[in-house]
Amino acid sequence: MNEAIRPEPGQLLQAGAPLQLSVIVPTFNESGNVAVLVQRLGVALAGIAWEVIFVDDNSPDGTADVVRALSQRDPRVRCIRRIGRRGLSGACIEGMLASSAPCAAVIDGDLQHDETQLPKMLGLIESGAAELVIGSRYIDGGSADSFNSQRLGASKFATAVAQRVLRVKIADPMSGFFMIRRDRFEQLAPQLSIQGFKILLDVVATARGDLRITEVPYTFGSRLHGESKLDSMVALDFLGLVLAKLTNDVVSLRFLLFALVGSIGLCVHFAALYVALEVYLLPFAEAQACGALLAMTSNFLLNNFLTYRDQRLKGFGILRGLLLFYLVCSVGLLANVGVAFSVYDQEPIWWLAGAAGALMGVVWNYAMSGLFVWRKR
């Protein structure tokens, strides 16, 4: 970094001074908070050449419009509006990749993080003392008093799991407030998961010890306006990240969920078959068809609700998706039976042939569903 050009804190910046810091702010429905945040960043970062990149997932409350209006007045403010996507981690990654500054920080848009720590964090990176600086609630001087006891318990539990299972040695791997040297981030970016919300934990686990890390204490404040977007489903995301990192990305949570939903479908199928045969006295072929249709429908709904909740189909898209899902599963059934037959032909062990067919079916259904039903837009 060019020492000659960098002004002292408090000194006015010359126009065109090289950018030192990009502050990335993921937002979803934060229209009431963004102006205050920009104003506070201006105060905290006086004398530093900074910009702020908001990454908004098309918030219905018009956060992106508010940000654009701010950026008309202050060119240091930028806005990335993502359509058809949701996810804190993905938004942070995209924001950091849009930065050209040597350092990038991630901070929440609701003023729960302490922006006055940013100059200290930048100093630690620019001096070479650290490559990643984490705003930590769980070291001396930090706190998370605004958490209710349930949330605090969950956060501490996840922290303990991350520390033991992923052998992460930092006090607050669940923090959403950190700063990183952008070149180091770019190296890690291809291996990061865009699902979920644990971007920092992902960065630290992916680096496998090859990152100089320092933590600085801060107090996790209360939200200014609006409400938290993290629901109970984040536990699932966390599990998924731990699984993926433990297995070197071989096992994805999505596939496990898809297979789990498939086994629930099997129970639905048998229950429906039983009722159709015993209660409605339908002939077997019709009863079997009813069971299959019901199982496919419940699989579709569960997958839409759980497995693909970040890409959930809505409105008319549900009907279209359901019809496509029927089609995918029908071909999957043919593949299932075909494989089972040929295995049985070689080796007449019924459970082996059955399992091979079922595995073929679920892999096919999973691959094709991802391509055609819940495809990424």
The site for ligand GDD (CB under 6 A) is made up of: 26-28, 30, 55-57, 86-88, 91, 108-110, 112, 155, 174, 176, 197, 228-230
136 contacts Mn ion (rule: CB under 5 A): no
**Number of residues in contact with Mn ion under rule CB under 5 A:** 3
Pick one of 22, 27, 31, 112: the residue that binds Mn ion (CB under 5 A): 112
**d(Cα 182, Cα 277) in Å, to the nearest integer?**
63
Closest distance of CB 339 from ligand GDD, Å: 39
The smaller minimum CB distance to ligand GDD, of residues 102 and 221, is found at 221
Nearer Cβ to ligand GDD (112/365): 112
Q: Three-state SS for 181?
A: strand
Q: Shortest Cβ distance from residue 109 to ligand GDD (Å)?
A: 3
Closer residue to ligand GDD (CB): 325 or 374: 374
**Do residues 369 and 332 lie in contact, with contact meaning Cβ atoms separated by under 8 Å?**
no
Show the binding pattern over residues 141-180: x = contacts Mn ion (CB under 5 A), - = does not. ----------------------------------------
Closest listed residue to residue 18, CA positions, set 105, 79, 103: 103
110 near Mn ion, judged by CB under 5 A: yes
User: Can you give the C-alpha Rg of the chain in angstroms?
Assistant: 25
Cβ neighbors of 240 (< 8 A, separation 6 or more) are 193, 195, 196, 252, 253, 254
In whole angstroms, how close is the CB of 27 to ligand GDD at the nearest point? 4
Q: Compare residues 109 and 262 and give the one whose CB is closer to Mn ion.
A: 109
Is 199 or 353 the residue whose CB approaches Mn ion more closely? 199
- Residue 256 burial by Cβ neighbours in a 10 Å radius (0-12, 13-18, 19+): middle
Rounded to the nearest whole angstrom, what is the least distance from the CB of residue 251 to ligand GDD in the complex?
Answer: 23
Query: 83 burial class (0-12, 13-18, 19+ CB within 10 angstroms)?
Result: exposed
- End-to-end Cα distance, the chain: 39
Query: Which lies closer to ligand GDD via its Cβ, residue 185 or residue 364?
Result: 185
CB of 136 to ligand GDD, least distance (A): 11
Q: How far is the CB of 343 from Mn ion (least distance, A)?
A: 52
Q: Closer CB to Mn ion, residue 28 or residue 364? A: 28
Least Å distance, CB 43 to Mn ion, is 21
- Residue with structure tokens 């731990």? 242
**27 binding partner (options ligand GDD, Mn ion, none; Cβ < 5 to 8 Å by kind):** ligand GDD
Which positions lie near Mn ion, rule CB under 5 A? 108, 110, 112
